[in-house]
Structure 1
Amino acid sequence: MKFDLMFIFMSSLLGIFVGMVASLFLVILNIFINFIWVTVPGNLEWSYYPLIVGLIGGLLVGLFQKYLGDYPKTMHQTLQEFKETGSVRYKKRVGKNVLAAWIVLAFGASLGPEAALSSILGGLISWVGDKMKLTLKRREEFLNLGIGTMMATIFHAPLLGMGEALEKDTVTKQSAKKNWPKILLYGWTTLLGILGFTSINRLFPKEALFGLRFAKVNWQPEVLWLIVPALIIGVIFGILFLKLEEISEKIAKKITNKLIAAVLAGALIGVAGMISPYLLFSGEHQLLSFSGSAAKESVLFLVLLALGKSLLTNICFAFGWRGGKIFPAIFASVAIGFAIITIFNYTPGLIIGIVVAASVTIILNQPIVTGALLLFLFPLQFFPAIVVACYLSGKIRSKLAEIKMIV
């Protein structure tokens, strides 16, 4: 990466722009969610309201898919399109991505906003690239910087962008020392992205999101006996999440009518909402309150919640409700961690941290990114253990992929 002043300046503007776009997208989304799930039912007394909302959402998603196309585009599709064409189409597409994403997320899908935002930003960055006559290399750098910054802002993980850069260097066997300018630029762009994100958020104050509530850290020697089991359980749950993904995709392929598939997923969302509100949405908004009461729940409830969340997430995605899986995967993994400490309540934050680190690493196949993602979610005292759990889980995943147990 050429490290010149003009590129640094443009990257700085990109960081602020990405942060503000991501924040505005989420602010408007939350207005829709509040209207659909708080304002309207507040004036009604319909016990089946979640089912009605799910069916309406399924109808809208299905009609959108049938007549306007497969929107919103996923992060994988965005990166793949750029790899194949050197650009991300934006004409008559950015608006469709935005509207489709708002429909999917506002009507309760157990999915996150990162996939839709990556496609939106990809289109906007390509538009800027066309207007400024940027080279293919510059477009690629801006796209990677933009997605890394977006991920860091919505997950409140300042080091996530740098983690993405390090992960890419690891995969391509490049020297992190050689590429330190790129890593620093990711960090700088992310910092400005968070500044842009926060500046918009301050105009619309709300309670803290994407956090966990733990009692004061109390180190207990008995926790040493739980570290390895917690790692194993996290790995197993991550594998289970991926297997549910495979099963959901196989079922979806048998349903050729997109409208029927979307309505079926909507019906499942509605039923899930009648069972527990924790099954709906990405889990970002519920994580803080959930962590404050989860220890009082039964082991059976927590395990079923984790399984239900994972199943609903994968069915939503496979059946046309497109979105990100990272937030729901974290929420479900946290539920499994709480199920363990409900039985063995020794240094809870550490055990939950290891379970989540192992599970999410298996699901994402990105140990460095997972570590950066969880850095500020758990107390800093646990971060060394989380890093080790990410590393070991990454090695386990590589072995499992070699024997074709997972892809």
Structure 2
Amino acid sequence: MTKKSINILIFSSTWSFIIGILTALYLNLVNYIINFIWGYFNHHANFPLRPIYPFLICIPFGIVIGLLTKKLGSYPLTIEEVLHDVRKNGKLDYHSWWKSFTLGLLSLGAGGSIGPEASTTVLSSGMINWLGDKIRLISTQASGWVHFWQISIDKDKLLRTPNFNSLFNSKNHKKFFILFNILIGVIGTIIVFTLFPEEGAFGIHKRPINWSWSILWYSLIPVIIGIIFGYFFLYFEKVFTKAEAWRLHTIFKATLWGIVLSLLTLITNYVLFSGEFHIVPFSKTALSYSPSFLLLIALIKTFSTHAGFAMGWRGGKIFPAIFASVAVGAAVAQFLPIQPVITVSILVVASTTIILEKPLLSAILLIFLLPISLAPIIFITVYIVITIHKFLLKKIGLKSLIY
């Protein structure tokens, strides 16, 4: 290995470690802001201002979100928009990262029914693209170094550098380099979460499962209902995508949603936030609610996620979708003679697989969220559902319901 190659590896691994730390710190910052604004509301049922508190928060935040959206544009970008930009341009423009950062934090802090995965993807992808450009610049320098801590990049110099792929001798060389730096970044993220732990949805959850042959027959019901709910969730998304084109003033739309969101809290507080930190606690108490109320929660959650997004409160939709699926699963579980956790888990797996259309991602995500003992069922359900989904897409002549 040449001296320049060693310098590039040291440079890339150092910054990959920093990127991992910054990504984790952003997620912790999101949780800190939500707890700072909503902590007393969430933990004190006898809070005197509790009924009107969402109005005091959501409406002013809605005005601010509208003002900034009018000035900066529609941010943060979604995961789909990030992937589209990468496919189209080969990279993500990271110069507008602060727009996704600012509007993402505002929508999340205001209690919007959206998750942090959208803004997190924009920020981490932007930092990774920035690192790639810095590595390209380093490759043209005789010493192998280009101002190690300098953040800015000379665009004119960048245009004269070779593209990222040409820096490697082979595809395996490139794969090793990327995987190595991903591992370093993950280590940085883990260190932050270890030093500043946040109680969240993720973790290896253990729960005793009562296995029986009846599960094979009754599991068909949550699979079918989960698929239906997945399509329902995507249908709502398409409906409210059209609402984004409504000729309403940007500030008016964002403020209006602040009012609507506040009104919906009079029905259920589960309308607030992505549901990420409520999924596990909610699953333990959901059976105490009536099936009709659980279905109402799922409907409101689906509506608030897509309608809020269309009104300018943008963010991720994965965790709201999972939360709504848990509510539907808990409603169905009250009518089946098998363990409720099995019914809920299968339905969540089925709906999430349809919504994401990424079977492996769905399986890995839900293994960390659902009881680990259900891992075999998770993989089997994902395979069955994605097979059915592809068959149905082929019948109607579509490749996807997302793109």
Task: Give the TM-score of the pair, scaled to structure 1.
Answer: 0.80
CA distance in 2, matches of 1:59, 1:24: 27
Q: What is aligned with 1:229? A: 221
Q: What is aligned with 1:32? A: 33
CA distance in 2, matches of 1:27, 1:258: 30
Does residue 76 of structure 1 match 2:77?
A: no
- Bigger Cα displacement from structure 2, 273-282 vs 200-209: 200-209
Q: What is aligned with 1:58? A: 62
1:68-147 map, 5 Å: 68-91=72-95, 93-133=96-136, 135-138=162-165
Q: Write out per-residue CA displacement over residues 180-234 of structure 1, whole angstroms, 9 at most, x where no aligned residue.
A: 9988887765654443223222333443434697752222343232111111011
CA distance in 2, matches of 1:221, 1:181: 49
SS in 1 for 2:94: coil
The correspondence for 1:279, drawn from 271, 289, 292, is: 271
Counterpart contact for 2:33–2:109, Cα < 8 Å: yes
Q: What is aligned with 2:53? A: 49
The verdict on how the C-alpha distance between 1:127 and 1:276 changes in structure 2, with shifts beyond 3 A counting, is same
SS in 1 for 2:392: helix
TM-aligned CA deviation for residue 313 of structure 1: 0.9
Q: Write out per-residue CA displacement over residues 230-261 of structure 1, whole angstroms, 9 at most, x where no aligned residue.
A: 11011000000011111112233224422222
CA distance in 1, matches of 2:34, 2:375: 34
CA RMSD of aligned residues (A): 3.1
Q: 1:81 is matched by which residue type in structure 2?
A: D
Q: 2:195 is matched by which residue type in structure 1?
A: L
Does residue 251 of structure 1 match 2:243?
A: yes
The verdict on how the C-alpha distance between 1:39 and 1:366 changes in structure 2, with shifts beyond 3 A counting, is same
SS in 2 for 1:132: helix
Counterpart contact for 2:41–2:53, Cα < 8 Å: no
Total equivalences in the alignment? 367
The verdict on how the C-alpha distance between 1:58 and 1:119 changes in structure 2, with shifts beyond 3 A counting, is same
Q: What is aligned with 2:305? A: 313
Q: 2:341 is matched by which residue type in structure 1?
A: G
TM-aligned CA deviation for residue 364 of structure 1: 0.8
The verdict on how the C-alpha distance between 1:102 and 1:335 changes in structure 2, with shifts beyond 3 A counting, is same
The verdict on how the C-alpha distance between 1:202 and 1:281 changes in structure 2, with shifts beyond 3 A counting, is same
TM-aligned CA deviation for residue 5 of structure 1: 8.2
CA distance in 2, matches of 1:355, 1:185: 39
Q: Write out per-residue CA displacement over residues 299-356 of structure 1, whole angstroms, 9 at most, x where no aligned residue.
A: 1111111121111111122222111111111111111111121222512332222111
- Bigger Cα displacement from structure 2, 77-86 vs 29-38: 77-86
CA distance in 2, matches of 1:362, 1:315: 20
Q: 1:98 is matched by which residue type in structure 2?
A: F
The verdict on how the C-alpha distance between 1:47 and 1:306 changes in structure 2, with shifts beyond 3 A counting, is same
Does residue 342 of structure 1 match 2:334?
A: yes
- Bigger Cα displacement from structure 2, 300-309 vs 73-82: 73-82
CA distance in 2, matches of 1:331, 1:139: 44
Q: What is aligned with 2:156? A: none
SS in 1 for 2:244: helix
Structure number with larger C-alpha Rg: 2
The verdict on how the C-alpha distance between 1:310 and 1:18 changes in structure 2, with shifts beyond 3 A counting, is farther
The correspondence for 2:320, drawn from 312, 324, 328, is: 328
TM-aligned CA deviation for residue 381 of structure 1: 2.9
Q: What is aligned with 2:289? A: 297
CA distance in 2, matches of 1:393, 1:6: 47
TM-aligned CA deviation for residue 286 of structure 1: 0.8
CA distance in 1, matches of 2:173, 2:384: 28
CA distance in 2, matches of 1:78, 1:234: 27
Where structure 2 has 5 or more consecutive residues not aligned to the other structure, the ranges are: 138-161
The verdict on how the C-alpha distance between 1:35 and 1:214 changes in structure 2, with shifts beyond 3 A counting, is same
Counterpart contact for 1:61–1:262, Cα < 8 Å: yes
TM-aligned CA deviation for residue 88 of structure 1: 2.5
The verdict on how the C-alpha distance between 1:136 and 1:236 changes in structure 2, with shifts beyond 3 A counting, is farther
The verdict on how the C-alpha distance between 1:275 and 1:78 changes in structure 2, with shifts beyond 3 A counting, is same
